[in-house]
Chains A and B, each alone.
Chain A
Amino acid sequence: DGGITQSPKYLFRKEGQNVTLSCEQNLNHDAMYWYRQDPGQGLRLIYYSQIVNDFQKGDIAEGYSVSREKKESFPLTVTSAQKNPTAFYLCASTASGRAAFYEQYFGPGTRLTVT
């Protein structure tokens, strides 16, 4: 079964703690993306990576960090510097870094609650 997995589905953390969200794909895709979705809102791009060992900031990168050491993995760390981290986080991938020309495949999402 090819696809994108995100774990865990629900995550609870105390304010001030860093937390890492997992994203793995076995589609052999070059590019991977992290989005944040707030209730009733669209998706906002946090970080993206078009190739292994390289990544770029999206529109709302402050308070987040990523790594892309392996093609299949793109973990997202939500740091204590993120002012309002409670949200639904979605990971996606495309076959090529030219996202405009390819469909994005999404994982099931991780709902993070910070209290």
Chain B
Amino acid sequence: SQQGEEDPQALSIQEGENATMNCSYKTSINNLQWYRQNSGRGLVHLILIRSNEREKHSGRLRVTLDTSKKSSSLLITASRAADTASYFCATDEDTGKLIFGQGTTLQVKP
């Protein structure tokens, strides 16, 4: 089953620019999570946003959630070369498990 789908699939920007990734999903959710994966590594949790929240911040990360449009966005401000990674959204098909999207591959050029 495919719940979250990220857009774009790939994004290339210069250091210092902002990066925006979008996630769309199909069914109602309790929460939406964003994860980051460096090449060949495990995923690292970034942010969890609840269905009754519209926006959440963590350092240079800003996540928005629009439940009416069934979509979320992840904004990374003032990007750095170290932000180069794949970013995944994950939604709950039911409370017991997460469904991950295909991911957005971000390249930040120094």
Contacts and interface: CB of A to CB of B under 8 A. Distances in A.
Interface string A40-58: 1111110010100000101
A50 B95 CA distance: 11
Interface stretch (A62-70, A72-80, A106-114): A106-114
A55 B44 CA distance: 24
Given A42-B101, A42-B102, A103 B45 contact: yes
A14 interface: no
Given A99-B92, A103-B48, A109 B99 contact: no
Given A45-B99, A48-B97, A98-B95, A103 B40 contact: no
B60 interface: no
Nearest to A98: B95
Q: Give the size category of B's interface with A.
A: 20 to 34
Most buried by B among A35, A42, A100, A104: A100
B13 interface: no
Interface string B68-110: 0000000000000000000010101011111111110100000
Interface residues of A, number: 31
Contacts of B90: 104
B30 A109 contact: no
A95 to B, nearest CB: 12
Given A42-B88, A108-B42, A109-B42, A99 B96 contact: yes
A40 B99 CA distance: 16
Given A42-B102, A99-B92, A108 B41 contact: yes
Contacts of A56: 96
A104 B30 contact: no
Nearest to B99: A45
